[in-house]
Structure 1
Amino acid sequence: MIDIAIRPIRRDDDVAMAKVIRTVMPEFGAGGAGFAIHDPEVDNMTEAYSKPRCAYFVCVANKAVVGGGGIAPLAGGNADTCELKKMYFLPAGRGQGWGQNVLLACIDAARTVGFRYCYLETFNTMKGAMKLYERNGFLKIPGPLGNTGHFACDTFYQLDLQKPAIAK
């Protein structure tokens, strides 16, 4: 039996979550310039997501961090829009429904702090993630919003947080 928990990130999760990000992104060809793998926050996620209107959740399976995801105000975007950020899972954490649970925690956090929209950007190789987003009501949009610095991303989504949740 797998002991699973979805919970807010803690300082002692930072190294493990950085390892998840640095393992998963190259797996999908997203290791070069313009991808989130190079963001300074990767090494200090707890501090980055302890700021106002931010939240980050980790998925812990049998006491090991297997993935996570968070929200923060969209850099260079409208005040009513957050960004779904750094949502990655190791292969052992995929296909279990855990990503769905982390995503719902992020959406709930975004609504709680008053965002109207949730934006995300991804890469065309991350097909499973895109299916998850679409099942949860995210709609593809034609181009990027804000100024994230992730110029290599090529697929963009937005969710109207005032609409009821679709997937459970």
Structure 2
Amino acid sequence: MVTIEDGMQHLDEIAKLFIEYKDYIAVDVSFQPADQTTEEIAKRYGGDGGRLYIAFVDGAAAGCIALHPMKDAHDCEIKRLFTRSAFRGHHVGRLLMQRALDDARAMGYRHAYLDTVKQLEVANLMYHRMGFREIPAYYHNPLPDVVYYCRDLVMDETSCK
């Protein structure tokens, strides 16, 4: 059984998941704001407008997701969606994403943005299935093969930039 909890209550485990995520994608994300220590994670995702979630499968930490506000207070960015390999196939990623989208909508965000790399084919497919659409870059990312997405949270299909 998958349960999703407030990641702020599990910062040590979240920090481990973030490290595993970065190892898994095998690209240097040091150009992004720091989120390696529990203090950095709490500051970036735990303040007003941020959220941090951890998923457990039968009590074992299985995955995570985070969101934080963007410069436009009506928009948020989703970061660090990750499921440990032992738990893939349990719909952990989809459940985490749905929780983040539901809460972002409830918090008044109009749009959710995210970026990923093309080689994460399963993730890209899930984003499409969950209503995200590809958009031009919304920030400078020096990595090759980056895909940018936006999902309108108020169901106005044309409002993503």
Deviation at 1:64, TM superposition (A): 2.3
In structure 2, what is the equivalent of residue 48 of structure 1? Answer: 44
Distance in 1 between the 2:125 and 2:24 partners?
18
In structure 2, what is the equivalent of residue 65 of structure 1? Answer: 61
Aligned-CA RMSD value: 2.1
- Say if 1:146 and 1:112 are closer, same or farther in 2 by CA, change over 3 A: farther
In structure 2, what is the equivalent of residue 152 of structure 1? Answer: 143
- Say if 1:59 and 1:94 are closer, same or farther in 2 by CA, change over 3 A: same
Deviation at 1:71, TM superposition (A): 1.4
- Say if 1:42 and 1:139 are closer, same or farther in 2 by CA, change over 3 A: same
- Say if 1:47 and 1:33 are closer, same or farther in 2 by CA, change over 3 A: closer
In structure 2, what is the equivalent of residue 91 of structure 1? Answer: 85
TM-score between both structures, scaled by the size of structure 1 = 0.80
Distance in 1 between the 2:96 and 2:105 partners?
14
Residue 96 of structure 2 is aligned to residue 102 of structure 1:
yes
Structure 1 residue matching 2:36: 3-state secondary structure: helix
- Say if 1:64 and 1:35 are closer, same or farther in 2 by CA, change over 3 A: farther
Structure 2 residue matching 1:70: 3-state secondary structure: strand
Does the 8 Å contact 1:49/1:55 carry over to 2? yes
Does the 8 Å contact 2:64/2:96 carry over to 1? yes
**2:76 aligned residue (63, 77, 82):** 82
In structure 1, what is the equivalent of residue 5 of structure 2? Answer: 7
Distance in 2 between the 1:18 and 1:63 partners?
18
TM-score between both structures, scaled by the size of structure 2 = 0.83
Does the 8 Å contact 1:71/1:85 carry over to 2? yes
Deviation at 1:146, TM superposition (A): 4.5
Identity level (%):
22
Gaps of 5+ in 2: 157-161
Deviation at 1:34, TM superposition (A): 4.3
